[in-house]
Amino acid sequence: MFNKILIANRGEIACRVIKTARRMGLQTVAVYSEADRDALHVAMADEAVLIGPPPSAQSYLDIDKILQVCQATGAEAVHPGYGFLSENATFAERLAEAGIAFIGPNVQAIRCMGDKITSKKLAREAGVNTIPGHPDIIEDADTAVAIAQEIGYPVMLKASAGGGGKGMRVAHNDDECRDGFLRATNEAKASFGDGRVFLEKFIEEPRHIEIQVLADKHGQAIHLGERECSLQRRHQKVIEEAPSPFLDDATRTAMGDQAVALARAVDYESAGTVEFIVDRQRNFYFLEMNTRLQVEHPVTEFVTGLDLVELMIKIAAGESLPIAQGDVKRDGWAIEARVYAEDPFRGFLPSVGRLVRYLPPPESAGVRVDTGVYEGGEVSIHYDPMIAKLITHGATRGQAITRMREALNESYIRGVSHNISFLAALIEHPRFREGRISTNMIAEEYPHGFHPADMIHDDPALLIVVAASIHRQYMDRAAGISGQLPGYERIVSDRWVIVMNGERQMVEMQLADGGQDITYEEKRYQVRSDWQFGQPLFRGTVNGTDVCIQVERRNMYYRLFHWGAQVDIMVLTDRAAELLACMPDKAPVDTSQFLLSPMPGMLTQLIVGEGHEVRAGQDLAVVEAMKMENVLRSERDGTVEKVMAAVGDTLAVDQPIMKFA
């Protein structure tokens, strides 16, 4: 076994690997860019070495620098995590030449499976089902259109070296095919340094289901069952689970057998994932093989009781698999939700900045949190905006869902926008509850984007009585101030007006042991809690049922967040409510004359200039953020009066790019 390993990655996966290495008694070395100088993985590792400036190409993707750190620190092995160099055959080759173990598969397996075209050919030879398509690299947009017309729309354009949803576009007609080829090529070059693109038939109403495989250096190969990864947005997985609620035992067995056959065909070693696309009749087709640890590996760990990182390290050290296929048992159900710094109400645009408050849910036997950030840390524009992965486990799928709902309630994040409201909506959606999901579900259920109206709380009375209870505690404290003039002491009323969503409701309350008894709409609510002033989470019971509600006091109102819904509630006296009704409403600022940057990023292209007439839907500019190209289009006809930014500028959210006459 190794004594010291280097983690050639950052963020939550680097922290995840460090935890297992520490438990195994191994020393760890972290590498970091200048942007990650104060990152969590740097603090957790036994040693940490600066390897370059923020751009990945000059730090986390710089093979020479990482090799130098290995030699300088005496690291005997490297775990690449996922992303960056994790599926880079040249990196694995260079490590081998230097006598350093790669905690992953052999070079040949990485090379074969890392190229989607080669991998499909090998899959067919191994007897694995594959999708109809064009197996060769496409040279230009015209060729892509010709092939698409021959296969029949819809088609999927994919970067050969792609992954993580980058370099992928679905096209339903010739125009979309031309544009998709350009965007996929550009994104592939920016993300992987490889702009090759191929094309295949797009399966409608598909499910994305993958098989976890394990193989050692002694010819043993097994699978650990499947993960359902169908809930995706723009090809990025959002919620994953194990097992799949869709598969029957016969399909599950067939998929597992084919995944193992492919692993054996390439002499695979280490942990890997064979991804399949499954249609409504449970026909399944090979999609790709990821020769690395997957982001969603914790759900497999929960249901099998195995530590995949530990097994990867042991396999790399030459040990045999400690289990055979017959030893793999499935225990219960696990669900993972990816918490990102993004704004679901603004088209899921990435959010960057400082985590002013960050309180993840407490971990337990049924709740796990994998994170790479901490309160006070920064979410950088340079890297993936993941804050954490929440993973819950239960004896049944229903119990795992309930625990996930509670974990989302307890995830308190301030300073950056986040997608918890969206995750809560998906967890509660009838289609998810029933297991009727596909990779198209999010686009079908939210065709015009995700909006605050999609998060109407199904029990507003719960929020009202909690806000009233908190307000009463504040008023009782204020009434207890010393030095009040005798005979004019402040008296706290038992009757209050609740203002929420522009509507006014009346509540009455009485103090009770451990809380208040509150009457709202002729129903009595027993609110009990040991909540203290300033605590961001209100934990207690309402009529005997446990609740956890996020709460902030903001001047005259309380902001509550629960089950993904956010509401602002004012608790007022009768007279204050009367005066509030007389206050004028402030009209929002009119920004319709401007094209604003919807996200922080770099302006990479200006398609129109001053004096140009534009039509609704016309492309105006391209902003690159998190290595993704975002095309900004005109919302109406008009004329460009002034261009207010230049190509190469780093833009802030809502920064004007151009003004229309």
Alpha-carbon distance of 162 to 191, in angstroms, equals 8
Distance separating alpha carbons of residues 629 and 233, to the nearest angstrom: 16
Give residue 210's identity as a one-letter amino acid code. E
Residues constituting the chain: 661
CA 413 to chain centre: 14
Residue of 228, 241, 288, 406 marked catalytic: 288
**What is the Cα–Cα distance from 301 to 297, expressed in whole angstroms?**
6
**Residue 427, SS3?**
helix
Q: What angle do CA 510, 515, 517 make, to 5 degrees?
A: 35
- DSSP per-residue string spanning 157-190: EEEEEEETTEEEEEESSHHHHHHHHHHHHHHHHH
Q: Is 97 an active-site residue? A: no
Handedness of CA 411, 414, 418, 422 (dihedral sign): positive
The phi and psi torsions of 297 (rounded to 5 degrees) equal -60, -25
Report the amino acid identity of residue 612: H
Q: How many CB atoms lie within 10 A of CB 534?
A: 6
Structure tokens at 341: 């710094």
Residue 453, judged by CB atoms within 10 A of its CB (0-12, 13-18, 19+), counts as: exposed
DSSP 586-636: PPPP--TTEEE-SSSEEEEEE---TT-EE-TT-EEEEEEETTEEEEEE-SS
637 contact partners, CB below 8 Å, separation of at least 6: 613, 614, 615, 616
Positions marked catalytic: 288
